[in-house]
């Protein structure tokens, strides 16, 4: 059965263009117009800093990871039809934006602890900016 399948090969997939280079650049420009308040920036920095200070982490999120977190949060806000980032945007994207960037202590693998667990824990610990800290 495997030999027949390998001999048959596969038809190339039918692909259609969803977005061209100009579309991608336009979307990127839209993300750049999404406002990020200083309180949100401080929150993102605090989340990343907490990964570097965590006892189960050998290498935490870098400054570049923090920048990526803020950019993805901007895109999340844009997809929610907002022109500004809320703490909820940062929280919604923090695990996928940061977890894969962490290098955990070797024994964490044996214990079944992953980067997702660490970021989730940190999200529950780092204070979220209050509405009073954000512009109306």
Kindly indicate the confidence band of residue 4, based on its pLDDT and cuts at 50, 70 and 90: confident
- Where are any strands of DSSP class E within 39-125? 57-59, 103-104
* pLDDT value of residue 13: 85
* pLDDT value of residue 11: 81
Cβ-based neighbour number of residue 40 at 10 Å: 23
pLDDT digits (tens, 9 = 90+) for 74-132: 999 999 999 999 999 999 999 999 999 999 999 998 899 999 999 999 999 999 998 77
- Where are any strands of DSSP class E within the chain? 57-59, 103-104
Domains of the chain: 21-129 (1.10.8.80)
Cβ distance 120 to 95 under 8 Å? yes
pLDDT digits (tens, 9 = 90+) for 20-50: 999 999 999 999 999 999 999 999 999 999 9
Residue with tokens 């263009």: 17
């Amino acid at each position: 059965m495997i030999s027949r399948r390998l001999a048959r090969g596969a038809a190339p997939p039918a692909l259609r263009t969803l977005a061209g280079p100009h579309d991608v650049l336009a979307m990127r420009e839209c993300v750049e117009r999404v406002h990020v308040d200083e309180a949100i920036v401080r929150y993102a920095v605090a989340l990343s800093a907490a990964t570097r200070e965590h006892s189960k982490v050998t290498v935490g999120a870098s400054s570049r990871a923090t920048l990526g977190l803020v950019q993805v949060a901007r895109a999340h806000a844009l997809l929610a039809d907002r022109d500004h980032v809320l703490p909820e945007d940062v929280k919604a994207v923090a695990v996928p934006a940061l977890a894969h960037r962490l290098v955990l202590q070797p024994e964490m693998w044996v214990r079944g602890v992953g980067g997702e667990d660490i970021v989730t824990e940190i999200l529950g610990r780092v204070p979220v900016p209050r509405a009073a800290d954000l512009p109306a």
